[in-house]
Amino acid sequence: MTRLYIAADHGGFHLKQALISYLVNYDVVDLGTESEESVDYPLYSDKIAACLKQDAEALGILICGTGLGVCMAVNRHRHIRAARCSTGLDAELARRHNNANVLCLGGRVIGVELAKHIVNHFLNSAFEGGRHQRRVNTFSTPAC
């Protein structure tokens, strides 16, 4: 069973709870936050990154208001390939071509049903390797 780490700030709290209820066939680890009280999203990006460092086969879902802040913050970590997705095709190609290991969603910009659709595409798609592996390999080299 795929392990999924999930975390959100206050802007993503409700969507996180909805997805946890939906993802009953996965081993879901909830890393918070636990309410709508204001928190700083980079903390939750760092929590997901730390878990995926120890558990490289797992995947992550990060949610903030837009999905943008958590994505920028978590991509600071070398072992993370996070994609902020707003369609099922985004999520599918993020897995197939970019080997994304974290899906970022915007709790204030997409509804629960669209989020479930995006998550399904993310979880049911696999990295294709080949020419995509060569390209992804360059991500771990500092650009400047």
Catalytic residues: 64, 97
> For ligand RB5, which stretch binds (CB under 6 A), given 45-53, 65-73, 91-99, 121-129?
65-73
Q: How far is the CB of 76 from ligand RB5 (least distance, A)?
A: 14
- The yes or no reply on residue 65 touching ligand RB5 (CB under 6 A) is yes
d(CA 48, CA 117) in angstroms, rounded, equals 22
**Per-position x/- string for 1-40, each x denoting binding to ligand RB5 as judged by CB under 6 A, each - no binding:** --------x-x-----------------------------
What are 59's two structure tokens?
């995947």
Task: Annotate 65-117 with three-state secondary structure.
Answer: CCCHHHHHHHCCCCCCCEEECCCHHHHHHHHHCCCCCEEEEECCCCCHHHHHH
Count of residues touching ligand RB5 (by CB under 6 A): 8
- The yes or no reply on residue 44 touching ligand RB5 (CB under 6 A) is no
Q: Which of 58, 49, 135 minimizes the C-alpha distance to 98?
A: 135
d(CA 52, CA 47) in angstroms, rounded, equals 9
Q: 61, 62, 64, 110: which one contacts ligand RB5 (CB under 6 A)?
A: 64
Question: Which residues of the chain form contacts with ligand RB5 (CB under 6 A)?
Answer: 9, 11, 41, 64-66, 68-69
